[in-house]
Structure 1
Amino acid sequence: MYEYASDEETVRYVFDKHQSLEHTKNSIAEYFMKAPIGKFAIEHKKLGKMIGTIDIRVFFEHKTAEIGYTLNKDFWGQGYMTEAANALLQLAFEMLELEKVYAIHDVENPASGKVMLRLGMQKEGVLRRHRIHKGKSIDTAIYGILREEYFRNKEIY
């Protein structure tokens, strides 16, 4: 994780760059180990190497979930994130029987939006100055896919 978490280009839109291996270890303990349900490492099988993370935050009272992800820039554009996120969509709709899954991204990071489109999500809008990231107020795009859309897309492919 430290390999990509310490790379500014990889984490530019997600979190502050890790300054040390100790920072990464603390992040793993505080975020991943403290509440591990729904948080996954993405491993490159052939290399036996962790190349990213993906998580799903389920809101059972609303039958919805949000997914978020980070991927080592050396593996961008190769379909790994789409594969991992599709597995979470399958979990959300086929096992948890949720009604909607959504994801957000900084509007300055359109590549993340392209992943969302490949998942069958639709752009629902832009939340203007929605959050502060690295000291800057940013616009956030939101994409979503409904249960019936997921199953319709599954029939097509």
Structure 2
Amino acid sequence: MTAERTQTQLLLAQNTVIPGERIILRPITFDDAADLYEYGQDPETTEFVFETHATIEESILGIGTYFMSDPIGKFAIELRSENKMIGTFDLRVNENDSKAEIGYVLNKAYQGNGYMTEAGALILDLAFNTLRLNKVFSLHDVKNPQSGAVMKRLNMTYEGTLRQDKFFKGKFCDYSYYSILKTEYH
């Protein structure tokens, strides 16, 4: 492990809780299972993100195997006013290339209130000011323009469409690619 990678991992480990004005980004725990299941069972919310959860046990399994088994860079979005997890936000860092991919999902009952934009702003601050990365990028299924709208609100630039880039839920999907550079962020 290089010194740079070690430093990046250390900084991520030191920044597992990030307070915002209306939300808190924090680690996901088994206590969040009911909140995850609330939106994880909704096919409309999960359509572009993960397999829909048929039972709360699937939500518990997802928390244990995805979020808790490798927690660095994976955040619950907690709404301060309700002490409730309303979504998740991931920052997947590639230290070798000084960049990171972001991914997110939000309970549809809380969409349209700017929570995802607030979470994204906190993550970009972490990526550029704390981790000192050069680039943050994200992809969204072209059939999910709401996700692209979040990227635009974060001042990310559309770079192109990756045709049939991923095989997800039984079909090949086209993905729009957005990014923001450190020089554009500052």
TM range (shorter): over 0.9
Q: Which amino acid aligns with 1:74?
A: A
The partner residue of 1:89 within 114, 118, 124 is 124
Shift >2 Å, 4+ stretches: none
Aligned pairs (5 A) from 1:1-157: 1-151=36-186
Q: Distance in 2 between matches of 1:43 and 1:99?
A: 28
Q: Distance in 1 between matches of 2:131 and 2:47?
A: 32
Residue 115 of structure 1, CA deviation: 0.2
SS of equivalent residue, structure 2 residue 96: coil
Q: Distance in 2 between matches of 1:51 and 1:10?
A: 12
Residue 126 of structure 1, CA deviation: 0.2
SS of equivalent residue, structure 1 residue 97: coil
RMSD between aligned residues: 0.5
Q: Distance in 2 between matches of 1:91 and 1:5?
A: 27
SS of equivalent residue, structure 2 residue 97: coil
Q: Distance in 2 between matches of 1:26 and 1:149?
A: 39
Q: Percent identity?
A: 52
Q: Which amino acid aligns with 1:8?
A: P
Residue 48 of structure 1, CA deviation: 1.2
Q: Distance in 1 between matches of 2:97 and 2:172?
A: 28
SS of equivalent residue, structure 1 residue 89: helix
- Structure 2 unpaired stretches of 5+: 1-35
Residue 74 of structure 1, CA deviation: 0.5
Q: Which amino acid aligns with 2:57?
A: E
TM-score of the aligned structures, taking structure 1 as reference length: 0.95
Residue 77 of structure 1, CA deviation: 1.2
- Structure 1 unpaired stretches of 5+: 152-157
Q: Distance in 1 between matches of 2:145 and 2:58?
A: 28
Residue 118 of structure 1, CA deviation: 0.3
TM-score of the aligned structures, taking structure 2 as reference length: 0.80
